Structure 1
Amino acid sequence: MSKAAEGDRPSAADWVAGHLSSQVGRVFVVTGANSGLGLETARSLGALGGAVIMAARDMEKGEAAVDSLRAEQPDGRFDLRHLDLADLDSVREFAAGVEHVDVLVNNAGVMTPPRSLTEQGYELQFGVNHLAHFALTILLFNTLLRGEDPRVVTVSSTLHKRGRIHFEDLHGEHGYHRTKYYAQSKLANVVFALELHRRLRTAGFPLRSVLAHPGHAATNLQTSGPTGVGKLMMKMTNRVMAQDVATGALPQIYAAAGADVESGQFWGPDGRNEGKGFPALVEPLDEARDRELGKRLWDISEELTGVHIDLAP
């Protein structure tokens, strides 16, 4: 995709209609689909005719989201299912119930909360944002291979460029800082997606591993995790600097359904510093491409989740 002109820019819905074709017959799994980027992703994919399995932790909010989508799209195919990414047992239960999927959108996340742990005792941001999506991807691997033009879309953030994988203290027991560990989790998303891409290509599988990020989009992610002054600052910057959530979701929507999307690509906004705009190819942090880092993260992710896969063809 070429970069959009700054002048007469279409709405997000018009952009989708002009750049994406029918998705009738395809099934999408979207995590964190009850609000924010996930809800917008489900909305757009449903409008294109796709069937969307909407994974949500809070079923009450999920039901409200599905009701709103069905009111907009009476013929839409939206299937709400429970998934708590802070509990790997829930991830396994959810994956076991998915009989068909063409595209997995690893969208859900938590951002800069006070230090807390998953059910398995892992730092919450690393556990939810990376480990749970790693496990979900591997658990759905064989199901995805049976799909049409199968893809895994992993949603990261520009903050991955400020991250480092703290192998010596993955769970923040000795030096937790909420932004530092959010950046770690977002870097882990990128490293994982690129390592998955390498392993898929080496093994000759048709599954594509694609990355996306929303730039600075006004979602509840920025205000549901932070507390105190940080929460107030996020609200202010959302009002002044952020783009709307529908536009922010476009890179991951395009990564999931764009005809020219290739494995290993990273899609983000085309504007200055990748903060706003329409989907364009962007570059990850150079260190995220490091093969030794990819292998080390993969190995420890298998160890922590108990989920393993042999990617030999």
Structure 2
Amino acid sequence: MSKAPEVDRRSAADWLSSRVESQAGRIFLVTGANSGLGLETARALGTLGATVIMTARDSAKGEAAVESLRAEQPDGKFELRHLDLADLESVREFAAGVEHVDVLINNAGVMMPPHSLTEQGYELQFGVNHLAHFALTLLLFNTLLQGENPRVVTVSSGLHHRGRIHFGDLHGNQKYSRTGYYAQSKLANVVFGLELHRRLRTNGIGMLSVLAHPGYTATNLQSSGPTGISKLAMKVSNRIMAQDVGMGALPQVYAAAGADVESGQFWGPDGRNESKGYPTVVQPLDEARDRELARRLWDISVEMTGVHIDLEP
């Protein structure tokens, strides 16, 4: 059976330590941190001295992840909290318990499952990848404002270039494509991140809204959602083409902690087609900058989540 690439963290760690100063005293919140990019992000932030709040839907897997990090970093500051992004009530309960955070990393995601719905009846990929993070960001907004150099990092994908927002069928009830609705959710991430940036600037708020994507990185995301031939194909391509998770996490870690990062930027790999490499500023799909699209998505996200803050466009 094909395996994911071996993880060589040394080159990624060397790159990070040479470019990012200590994050001691700062608190980072990473969603979906029990595996894959989230776990690697928590690991990297821990080496920088940060306190990391890690969320997981499965508490047992989350505890195992935290224990693995504590074994590697005995002085590390890692904390696990339960969060089910497929349930907006869980998002509300979680946010109410967060007393301090400096940086929010909207990392968690689901990829290409069979047509499924959240607790509130929304298509799972749109619900988890976009709506839950939209709600979490707004619910934590005032808490973030009290933080040190507050920042929101929203993790998207290169596949956002293939996305469009199906306003007439947001939840795939009429016609569902696993890839198409994954791309929709990742485009929604980019549109949201850029619109949040614009609203922050318009209202004179110093918080940063930054985007990141990992390129083609081997994680369990590709195997936990797809089924059948698609799952097998992704296992093979992970082995042959993908970069390891240590490199894949660098863009979002740098977006979260880099001193020269600016609001509205999109960080991704610097290699060919943004599939591999070290972090650099990349460009989103042109349509993601459409302000009318952004306004419409923002308004419908408020309606679906029931979460609103006074942040005029």
TM-score by length of 1: 0.96
Q: Distance in 2 between matches of 1:101 and 1:40?
A: 19
Q: Which residue number corresponds to residue 23 of structure 1? A: 23
Q: Shift of the alpha carbon at 1:77?
A: 0.6
Instruction: Show the counterpart of 1:183.
Output: 183
Which residue in 2 is equivalent to 1:171?
171
Asked if residue 109 in structure 1 is aligned to residue 109 in structure 2, the reply is yes
Corresponding residue for 1:139?
139
**Matched AA of 2:178:** R
Aligned-partner Cα distance in 2 for 1:204–1:311: 10
1:302 equivalent in structure 2 = 302
The Cα RMSD (Å) is: 1.1
Q: Alignment identity in percent? A: 79
Shift of 1:85: 0.2
| Shift of residue 13, structure 1, vs aligned partner | 1.1
1:11 counterpart SS class: helix
Stretches of structure 1 that go unaligned for 5 or more consecutive residues are 1-8
Q: CA deviation at 1:21?
A: 0.5
* Residue in structure 2 matched with residue 6 of structure 1 by the alignment: none
* Cα distance between partner residues in 2 of 1:10 and 1:278: 13
**For 1:185 and 1:160, how far apart are their aligned partners in 2?**
8
Give, in whole Å, the separation in 2 of the partners of 1:15 and 1:94.
34
Q: Give the secondary-structure state (helix, strand or coil) at the position aligned to 1:219.
A: coil
| TM-score normalised according to structure 2 size | 0.96
Q: Distance in 1 between matches of 2:206 and 2:10?
A: 33
* Distance in 2 separating the partners of 1:80 and 1:194: 29
What residue number does 1:286 align with? 286
Q: Deviations over 1:173-197 (max 9, x none)?
A: 0000100000000000000000000
The alpha-carbon deviation at position 312 of structure 1 amounts to 5.5
Distance 1:84 1:273 in 2: 33
| Match status 1:46 vs 2:46 | yes
Instruction: Specify the alignment match of 1:234 in structure 2.
Output: 234
Structure 1 position 160, deviation (Å): 0.2
How far apart are 1:252 and its partner, in Å?
0.1
- What are the residue-to-residue correspondences of 1:1-313 with 2, within 5 Å? 11-311=11-311
Tell me how far apart the structure 1 counterparts of residues 103 and 147 of structure 2 sit (CA, whole Å): 8
Tell me, in whole angstroms, the C-alpha distance in 2 between the residues paired with 1:201 and 1:172. 34
- Partner-residue secondary structure (3-state), 2:168: helix
Query: Post-superposition shift, 1:311?
Result: 1.6
Describe the superposition over 1:95-119 as per-residue Cα deviations: whole angstroms up to 9, x where unpaired: 0110000000000000000000000
Query: Post-superposition shift, 1:300?
Result: 0.1
Task: Report the Cα distance in structure 1 between the residues aligned to 2:13 and 2:24, rounded to whole angstroms.
Answer: 17
Distance 1:35 1:277 in 2: 21
Tell me which amino acid in the other structure corresponds to 1:15: W
**Distance in 2 of aligned mates of 1:199 and 1:129:** 21
Aligned to 2:5: none
* 2:120 aligned counterpart, secondary structure: coil
- Deviation per CA, 1:194-241: give whole Å up to 9, x if none: 000000000000110000000000000000000000000000000000
Q: Distance between the aligned counterparts of 2:16 and 2:96, measured in 1?
A: 32
Deviation at residue 19 of structure 1 after TM alignment? 1.1
Consecutive unaligned residues in structure 2, runs of 5 or more:
1-8
